[in-house]
Structure 1
Amino acid sequence: MLLLLPPSEGKTAAPDGAAPVDLEALAHADALGGRRAEVLAALARVSARSDAADVLGVGTSLAAEVERNTHLASAPAAPAARVYTGVLYAAARLAETADAARADDGVRIFSGLWGAVAPGDRIPAYRLSMGVDLPGVGKLSTAWRAPLGAALDARAAGDVVVDCRSAAYVAAWRPRPRTGEWVTVRVVRDVGGRRTVVSHHAKHTRGVLAGHLLRRAGSPPTTARELLGAAAELTGQVIATEAGTGLAYRLTEATLHAAASRSAPATLELVTAPTHR
């Protein structure tokens, strides 16, 4: 299994005094190290400009985070599993996974700055999305495409790629057809027979699935059918509880939908429904 996650917008900075990032120690340093150094330097230059917020596509309220981009090479670093925060990561609890080697082998977190990192890779908190056209580098999803192919094509071959990323990160790397199985995860909420996608709820459910795949007993799935079986183990379990109302949502169904074409992914659909606990 190769589980692909998006980064989180929110990031928790490492404690003061922690050692800085070591580019040579990050996953796939041979394939991604050169591009990482290039993007890191370009981001520092851009973040020092008066129009940095506009170039990076962020609001003025994030000025402190943009300023931090100017000295990331010396900023304190921590495991990516702790730096990335937000709905998906709170549900996945990657930092609590007992088998760190399993997580570091099976999970890649995509990033506009780092390309892709393992949960245990030590990185500083930063502000840069994959959709940015970074002066000196270009559109990041395009700039990362060849290096990510060199890093991940062989790793994905003969395995199942479980894709929880958003479209901007999919644009940076897509599994090659016929080298393995590629499955995206779609989450819908069923209320009275009407199924809808709710962003916050979907992120949380993907996080629950990610944590389950990493902590369940037995070997990780290596095919789409095995992935479906692993996801179905969550059927009947409470996936989320709404703050305020206390309304619980259980997973009621997991279904695998075939790919629409040879180059498209199959879809693992997870259906949740409200229930009284």
Structure 2
Amino acid sequence: MLILLPPSEGKTPADAGEPVDLGQLHFPELTEARQEVAEALATMSARDDALARLGVGASLARDVLRNTRLGAEPAAPAHSIYTGVLYDALGYHTMTATQKRKADAGVVVVSGLWGAVAFADRIPAYRLSMSVGMPGLGKLASYWKPKLGAALEGHAAGQLLVDCRSSTYAAAWTPPPERTVAVNVFTERDGTRKVVSHFAKHTRGELARHLLTRRGKAPETPAQLAKAAGERWAVELVPGTPRRHHTLNIILAD
């Protein structure tokens, strides 16, 4: 089982440590592309209009400045750099040593800067969304899509893919549909369903934690995933087609 996550919008910078070593990150096929994006990001972040180009406000000026010196910033494992609703719900730091090893091996974060990283990969904090267009590179989702396909398909071969990414990051790689289950979250009142964003992030984080910490064998099929999720939530599994992934709908009471 492989769990695909989006990065958090906000990051928690490492207090100390060596800078990122691109050659030590998982998926070495992406090293050249990572360097290219990092250089383009540094150049763009030094411009007077950097905040507007990155789609952030003045309160994040310090984060944008950090983009200009990523090669010198201290790095830390991705599971401590990425923070926020989803990652708080996942709660890596409260897992047992065995559960952490499962997370390190079974979680991949799709990123606008790195393409994709494993949970234990050491990275610095940065500010860049997959939706941003980079000078000379274009939209990052389009830039990364062929590269992620080449890098991740071998890594994911034979595994069930639990896709907890948001649509912005899902656009960067389309995994094999027959082995992929996208996770949607709804609230329901009087038979009427409503898509939610905040609770979706939280619930996807809780689902990831549940799958990594529950006893028993990890799900290997969409039906087994639905059964595992059903241990905690009301769920329904929408079967896929040869061209479309399966969907797990988690229904929360409103």
Q: TM-score range by the shorter chain?
A: over 0.9
Structure 1 contact 94–119 (Cα < 8 Å) conserved: no
- The yes-or-no answer on 1:24 pairing with 2:23 is yes
The whole-number CA distance in structure 1 between the counterparts of 2:138 and 2:94 is 36
Shift of 1:175: 0.9
Structure 1 contact 12–82 (Cα < 8 Å) conserved: yes
Q: Please list the CA deviations of residues 24-66 of structure 1 after superposition, one character each: whole Å capped at 9, or x if unmatched.
A: 111112x111111111111111101111112112122211111
Instruction: Report the counterpart of residue 164 of structure 1 in structure 2.
Output: 164
- The yes-or-no answer on 1:96 pairing with 2:77 is no
> Which 5+ residue runs of structure 2 have no aligned equivalent?
none
The whole-number CA distance in structure 1 between the counterparts of 2:68 and 2:167 is 28
Matches within 5 A, 1:1-277: 1-15=1-15, 17-29=16-28, 31-97=29-95, 98-99=97-98, 100-177=100-177, 180-234=178-232, 251=233, 253-259=234-240, 261-273=241-253
The whole-number CA distance in structure 2 between the counterparts of 1:141 and 1:198 is 23
The whole-number CA distance in structure 2 between the counterparts of 1:209 and 1:67 is 35
Q: Please list the CA deviations of residues 88-120 of structure 1 after superposition, one character each: whole Å capped at 9, or x if unmatched.
A: 111011233333332122111111001111111
| Secondary structure of the structure 2 residue equivalent to 1:74 | coil
Kindly provide the amino acid, as one letter, of the partner of residue 12 in structure 1.
T
| Secondary structure of the structure 2 residue equivalent to 1:109 | strand
Deviating above 6 A after TM superposition, structure 1's stretches of 4 or more consecutive aligned residues are none
The whole-number CA distance in structure 2 between the counterparts of 1:61 and 1:75 is 20
| Secondary structure of the structure 1 residue equivalent to 2:187 | strand
Structure 1 contact 103–118 (Cα < 8 Å) conserved: no
The whole-number CA distance in structure 1 between the counterparts of 2:27 and 2:94 is 23
The whole-number CA distance in structure 2 between the counterparts of 1:121 and 1:96 is 19
> Which 5+ residue runs of structure 1 have no aligned equivalent?
235-250
The whole-number CA distance in structure 2 between the counterparts of 1:188 and 1:36 is 35
The whole-number CA distance in structure 1 between the counterparts of 2:102 and 2:151 is 18
Structure 2 contact 105–119 (Cα < 8 Å) conserved: no
Instruction: Give TM-score scaled by structure 2 length.
Output: 0.94
Structure 1 contact 43–69 (Cα < 8 Å) conserved: yes
The whole-number CA distance in structure 1 between the counterparts of 2:196 and 2:168 is 19
| Secondary structure of the structure 1 residue equivalent to 2:70 | helix
The whole-number CA distance in structure 1 between the counterparts of 2:156 and 2:243 is 14
Q: Please list the CA deviations of residues 164-211 of structure 1 after superposition, one character each: whole Å capped at 9, or x if unmatched.
A: 11112111101134xx51111111112233221221111111110000
Q: Identical aligned pairs, as a percentage?
A: 53
| Secondary structure of the structure 2 residue equivalent to 1:36 | helix
Instruction: Give TM-score scaled by structure 1 length.
Output: 0.87
The whole-number CA distance in structure 2 between the counterparts of 1:12 and 1:24 is 23
Structure 2 contact 2–108 (Cα < 8 Å) conserved: yes
The whole-number CA distance in structure 2 between the counterparts of 1:111 and 1:102 is 21
